[in-house]
Amino acid sequence: MIAPDRFAVVIGGANMDLCGRSTSDLVMGSSNPGALTASAGGIGRNIAESLAHLGSKVEFISAVGEDSWGEQLLDSCRDAGVGIEHCLVTPNRATSTYLSIHGPDGALQLALNDMSLFDELNAQELAKRAPLLNRATAIAIDANLSESALEYLFQTQASKPIFVDPVSVLKVQKIKPYLSCIHTLKLNVVEAELLSGESISKRSDIPKTARRLHDVGVHQVVISLGENGAYASRDSNGHFYASDGTAANLPMEQHEGLLSGLIHGCLQSLTWQHSMESALVAGGLAHQQTFTSTARKGRNSGSPRFSTVSSRDTDTELY
């Protein structure tokens, strides 16, 4: 069991996810028939929810508008057991939204986001929450945060484990000045290339890229490889973790569960190997079934299936 005084603070995005999936091949510049859904999302919110489902105590800091969508996001956190009393509710501002359009196969075709509200969650606002931050065992952040917020957190909280999700290739550069302060970095192949300066075209390039990130101070690196699993490295000692092949079809929040599993492992003082096992299960990379957002709200069934493969495995092309 986790000691009651061990908890994580997650600071990052909370937004409504508006998702459209066409029933036939998309025709650009025209109306397309399909199915539309609206659900609670956001990188930070998803991490916090997944962490709570694992049984960890978690407090969430984000910004929402004083509107119906903002209340819906806060309710989703309450329902999951996530603490929200430190969230910033901003009058006269609309809650952040993320709009995605997918083809009939589920592949993303286009996305738009309105995340400007997060500029309100600046260093001054975070300083008001310093007592909570100072008591936290671990901190998790995403790169939706403003420059001033990132600077404040890395300057004041660098003595404890900081877990980071870069969010996207457009925002990954925001964390580059703070790599030496990052305990655990979870990113995809393109984000890893941008932060390390290394090019990844084949399997053997991945350990080299992780080592480059270790060289600048990152303690633990996890590079998500989609349906091919993940590569995880701690102080340059890394392994490939193979998935069962369903990861490419998992909802985005399952991939964010990867970082949640690592935070959970930290709070429980698990070994690196056991933390990765927890992360793979939480991320859905190791399960035989393809998760849906409905299944994610309950306790996941099925036995985990994954394998650890040495980084010296036979070289294969990634693309």
CA distance 277 to 283: 10
- With bands split at pLDDT 50, 70 and 90, how would you rate the model's confidence at 296? very low
Average pLDDT (184-200) is: 95
Q: Are 80 and 73 in contact (CB under 8 A)?
A: no
CA distance 48 to 8: 9
Of residues 139 and 285, more confidently modeled: 139
Question: Rounded mean pLDDT of the chain?
Answer: 85
The alpha-carbon radius of gyration of the chain (Å, integer) is 19
How, if at all, do strands 162-165 and 184-188 pair?
A: parallel
CA atoms within 13 A on the CB side of 30: 8
Residues forming beta bridges with residue 187, ordered by sequence position: 223
Average pLDDT (258-271) is: 92
Give the number of other CB atoms < 10 A from CB of residue 246. 17
What percent of the chain is predicted at pLDDT more than 90? 72
Q: What's the CA angle centered on 149, arms 172 and 171, to 5 degrees?
A: 15
How, if at all, do strands 15-22 and 97-102 pair?
A: parallel
Give the number of other CB atoms < 10 A from CB of residue 50. 28
Reply yes or no on whether the pLDDT at 242 is more than 80.
no
pTM for this predicted structure? 0.84
Residues forming beta bridges with residue 307, ordered by sequence position: 242
CA 210 to chain centre: 18
Q: DSSP letters of 203-267?
A: TTHHHHHHHHHHHTT-SEEEEE-GGG-EEEEETTEEEEEE--S-GGGS-HHHHHHHHHHHHHHHH
pLDDT reported for residue 273: 85
